[in-house]
Structure 1
Amino acid sequence: MKTGAIVDGSVRQTKPTERPREPEAAPAVEPGGLARLLRGSTLSARAARSSAFAAAGFGAGQAIRLGSNLVLTRILFPEDFGLMAIVLAVTTGLALLSDIGLGPAIMQSRAGDEPRFLDTAFTIQILRGAILFLATCALALPLASLYGEPLLGAILPVAGLSLLVSGFLPTKIETAHRHLRFGRVILLDLLSQIAGTIVVVALALWLRSVFALAIGLVAGAAIRLALVWVFLPGRGNRLGWDRPRARELVRFGIWIFASTACAFVVQHADKLLLAKLVPLDVLGFYAIAQILASAPIALQAAILSRTMIPLYRERPPSASAHNRVVLRRARIGAAGGTIALLALVALVGVPLVEFLYREPFTRAGPLVVLVACALMPAAALAGIDQAALAAGDSRGFFAVVAVRALAHLAAFLAGYALFGLPGAIAGQAVAVLCAYPVLLRLLRRHGAADPALDAALLAASALLALLAIGVSVEAIAGLALE
């Protein structure tokens, strides 16, 4: 039987004489079986262990983030959060617009453990970080003029330093992801987040200014860099350049670059557009609603981004029925759990915000409900497009993300024109459904399509969203965010 292989970033067919990999036997259900699964070295054990680490680390990270947010809302003003939302959208957007997929390339490449390959990737990453910092400096004054916020001209270059610092992160992180060994990476991320939060709160108490958030961003990046270089096991990097490996990285990454440019539209264009459409304090409320409502899907992304490419690489669904069952179960657990958490956030969104925040930040409550509901379709379909990247099909992956970005932009603007901010948020859900046919076509190409499961998860999302909106309909109808 022929099986797919990844060679130089493209999919080729192996010879019929090659013996396919035997499917891994499912772990027996017996006393102590779970303990052996979590301690084992098989793919299932590593995936389960990595998912558990990712979930625990994310939960702890969100608790730190929420605590920091609650403290900062008692020190700073809504306008400060709105201004920082623009800064983060710009810096994150630049990072996405320049992403050539070094992480996925290391995870999927046969050369992903070779020192020369890793050093070449490290060198490219440093150059990219320097270019991003210069780009934030160049954009600072034009954006300050565009949004009528002079402070942006000074804050953006400061925040851009975090991109320069992050460029020096070693590839030991991607190597750990490649082999599904996340424990130490997540622990170091949490320590850097705690230290960064302490710095931000101390600066906020001292400066009483949005500059505290920007300087804290740089401090957090520097602390993470130091911790990873010193305490993460593995080979350190040095500057190096291998032309064939650089070509492989660029060949794979060119479509990742295009895909992340489109991902920027999906993830951050809403904030940049709203910065021109609504007052700065309303943008601050929306940013807070995003923090609370997007926590479940961010947890899902933290797990899937680290596990799905290795799973699809070693368990291609077209290879055997057993592989399809394993992947289906993983998806049901990840998507079903995320949808349930989003529904819970939507149901308690208004009273939760009223309990946690003081006035005027309680105006974010109805927005939490709407954002959580709008994210449910994305949660239902999350991670399955990674089947293309695992097969080296970054071009097909780009096609899906590009259609999703165009649909997102069009639905967001149309929704705002028709129904204001609630309509714009609902447009994000509509965009996911509009892009689904293109996604389904890609999945069929790689034998990973499961339209019956897609329909079931989307239907569950719709029912739960209607229930949550019904519970908070009065608060949503009373939105007065002019």
Structure 2
Amino acid sequence: MLKNPLMSGIGAARRGLASDAGVVVGVMVFQNLLRIGSSMILTRLLNVEAFAVAGIVTSVMVTFALISDVGIIAFMVRHERSAEREFRDQVWTLRLIRGIILSILIAVLASTVADYMQKPYLQWAIAAAGLFSIIDGLGSMAPFTALRNRKVRLLSAIDVMSQLLGAAITIALALVFHSYWAIIFSSLLGQLMGVFFSYKLYPDSGQRFNFSRERAAELWRFSRFITGSTMLTLVISQGDKLVLSRAFPLSIMGLYVMAAGLAATPVSLVGSYAGRVLYPQYAEIFRNDPGALREKFYSVRMRLSLLYAFAVGGFIGCAPLVVNILYDPRYTDAGHYLQILLISTFFAAGTSVANDIMITIGKTSYTFAANVVRIIYLGAGAWVGWTYFGPIGIIWVVGTVELAGQVYAWTQLARQGFFRPSRELLIIAAGLAGLAVGYGVDVLGHSVFHIR
């Protein structure tokens, strides 16, 4: 009996939406729409300078977090003993100690950091945000165990609930404070909610203090390259904000922070998909049949890679229109910054997948080496950019750094037998097609809406 093509297509679509990848993509689309919607409201309740301050404080927090990163999530997902209660308690203890030390360090250095940025009035905001670290350290390890066991639906449902509550709290506090304190306080409350959910919504989530020198040494052996790499990631991901916060007044810095936030929207999809679907799947394949990993490297990711490339290409093409539609005229110039930063966003998917596959096969030094390549590119490019073009030159270097990372990723994938030129060219072609469509939409939209 012949199958109805329409019904077959509907069935395939349902299976796709119900798959782990479909759930992750659907949730991330919803979260990004919610993030954009809440930012549209916040831009009308807060001034541009508030976003600049929030961006600077966030940059400081990320800086300290990356300096002390030891790859706990990757360690938990990959380790064969992750299901054991004693093992989880030992790792949780190390994570908590790290959080306490970080919070104290940030409080002590808050004044120095604020003075370096020539904005001493940010001292108390930075010190308050330092509480993020200790709150994060108090959270249960149960979400990491759920990630290892590929409990994608549970993780995604909790993420959606947390973000909805977080958005509501941020808007409510913005109505009260009308300053950057609304963003900082809401972020702290959101972090506390995350800790509460990690214990109440996951099975077997209890933790107790159990310090183990043996576990600390094992974690260090696993993460020594990751730690070095994340210190380089610090320079790559936060160096622009730390430099530009001195070069730009708050009014311009706010536009840059807004553009960087929008450019990071697709990257959040990459991080969630790679961390919750691809990496656990690659790790499972490697544990069961290492030889099958090269064969399945592209097959498990190709469809979404093409969709991502087309979507980001389209985003680059119509970025000015998006900014003009979403925000009031004060933010118009952010559209140009956004187009530049989205170039790195486009290549972030490929470099993220390459990093996951290298960690899966035990090549943890790859992350460090790839970041060395990025640092060299940033250092040389930033000197040229700043010398001849000023701050905008640095933005162009930041906006293309992932291209350098992608070229290095291709060379290393080829060495390990994973690289397929035809597949990579197809992904780039999808991005160029999206760029053409996006540019057409931008021209049409500006004409229809009479936007200059």
Q: TM-score, normalised by structure 1?
A: 0.82
1:153 pairs with 2:101: no
- Aligned counterpart for 1:208 among listed residues 170, 178, 183: 178
Distance 1:467 1:299 in 2: 21
Query: Structure 1 437/286 Cα, relative in aligned 2: closer, same or farther at 3 Å?
Result: closer
Query: Structure 1 241/75 Cα, relative in aligned 2: closer, same or farther at 3 Å?
Result: same
- Aligned counterpart for 2:55 among listed residues 67, 70, 85: 85
Distance 2:388 2:347 in 1: 21
SS in 2 for 1:113: coil
1:397 pairs with 2:357: no
Aligned match of 1:344: 314
Aligned match of 1:384: 354
Aligned match of 1:7: none
Deviation at 1:254, TM superposition (A): 1.6
Aligned match of 2:97: 127
Query: Structure 1 471/37 Cα, relative in aligned 2: closer, same or farther at 3 Å?
Result: closer
Aligned match of 2:139: 169
One-letter amino acid of the structure 1 residue matched with residue 194 of structure 2: R
- Aligned counterpart for 2:283 among listed residues 313, 336, 342: 313
Aligned match of 1:261: 231
Aligned match of 1:43: none
Structure 1 contact 129–166 (Cα < 8 Å) conserved: yes
Structure 2 contact 355–366 (Cα < 8 Å) conserved: no
Equivalent positions of 1:208-227 (< 5 A) are 208-227=178-197
1:61 pairs with 2:55: no
Distance 1:61 1:345 in 2: 17
Query: Structure 1 385/370 Cα, relative in aligned 2: closer, same or farther at 3 Å?
Result: same
- Aligned counterpart for 1:363 among listed residues 333, 337, 340: 333
Distance 2:44 2:151 in 1: 39
Structure 1 contact 317–327 (Cα < 8 Å) conserved: no
Deviation at 1:238, TM superposition (A): 1.4
SS in 2 for 1:253: helix
Query: Structure 1 38/180 Cα, relative in aligned 2: closer, same or farther at 3 Å?
Result: farther
Distance 1:299 1:331 in 2: 13
Structure 2 contact 45–174 (Cα < 8 Å) conserved: yes
Distance 2:341 2:405 in 1: 19
Equivalent positions of 1:253-292 (< 5 A) are 253-292=223-262
Distance 2:216 2:23 in 1: 32
1:70 pairs with 2:40: yes
Aligned match of 1:10: none
Structure 1 contact 370–469 (Cα < 8 Å) conserved: no
Structure 2 contact 343–400 (Cα < 8 Å) conserved: no
Structure 1 contact 119–237 (Cα < 8 Å) conserved: yes
CA RMSD of aligned residues (A): 3.1
Equivalent positions of 1:89-104 (< 5 A) are 89-104=59-74
Distance 2:117 2:428 in 1: 38
Aligned match of 2:204: 234
Distance 2:90 2:255 in 1: 43
Distance 2:375 2:301 in 1: 23
SS in 1 for 2:44: coil
Distance 2:418 2:149 in 1: 22
Equivalent positions of 1:2-13 (< 5 A) are none
Distance 2:9 2:51 in 1: 51
Distance 2:441 2:35 in 1: 27
1:248 pairs with 2:218: yes
Structure 2 contact 312–434 (Cα < 8 Å) conserved: no
Distance 2:106 2:129 in 1: 8
Deviation at 1:461, TM superposition (A): 4.2
Query: Structure 1 353/88 Cα, relative in aligned 2: closer, same or farther at 3 Å?
Result: same
SS in 2 for 1:315: helix
Query: Structure 1 418/454 Cα, relative in aligned 2: closer, same or farther at 3 Å?
Result: farther
1:179 pairs with 2:149: yes
Structure 1 contact 289–364 (Cα < 8 Å) conserved: yes
One-letter amino acid of the structure 2 residue matched with residue 345 of structure 1: F
Query: Structure 1 146/220 Cα, relative in aligned 2: closer, same or farther at 3 Å?
Result: same
Query: Structure 1 392/141 Cα, relative in aligned 2: closer, same or farther at 3 Å?
Result: same
One-letter amino acid of the structure 1 residue matched with residue 161 of structure 2: L
Distance 1:468 1:159 in 2: 38
Structure 1 contact 185–232 (Cα < 8 Å) conserved: no
Aligned match of 2:448: none
Aligned match of 1:117: 87
Distance 2:282 2:316 in 1: 32
Deviations 1:240-271 (A, max 9, x none): 13333332212101211112112222222211
Structure 1 contact 366–472 (Cα < 8 Å) conserved: no
Question: How many residues in Structure 1 have an aligned counterpart in Structure 2?
Answer: 438
Distance 2:380 2:399 in 1: 12
Query: Structure 1 445/455 Cα, relative in aligned 2: closer, same or farther at 3 Å?
Result: same
Equivalent positions of 1:411-450 (< 5 A) are 411-436=381-406, 438-450=408-420
Structure 2 contact 129–184 (Cα < 8 Å) conserved: yes
Distance 1:427 1:462 in 2: 21
SS in 1 for 2:80: coil
SS in 1 for 2:210: coil
1:190 pairs with 2:139: no
Q: TM-score, normalised by structure 2?
A: 0.87
Deviation at 1:304, TM superposition (A): 0.7
Distance 1:238 1:320 in 2: 36
Deviations 1:375-409 (A, max 9, x none): 22333443122112112322233222232233234
SS in 1 for 2:70: coil
Query: Structure 1 227/432 Cα, relative in aligned 2: closer, same or farther at 3 Å?
Result: closer
1:372 pairs with 2:342: yes
Structure 1 contact 380–461 (Cα < 8 Å) conserved: no
SS in 1 for 2:45: coil
Aligned match of 2:447: none
Structure 1: any 5+ residue segments left out of the alignment? 1-28, 40-47, 474-482
- Aligned counterpart for 2:107 among listed residues 128, 137, 150: 137
Structure 1 contact 316–323 (Cα < 8 Å) conserved: yes
Deviations 1:196-224 (A, max 9, x none): 22222222211222111111111110011
SS in 2 for 1:330: coil
Distance 2:196 2:251 in 1: 36
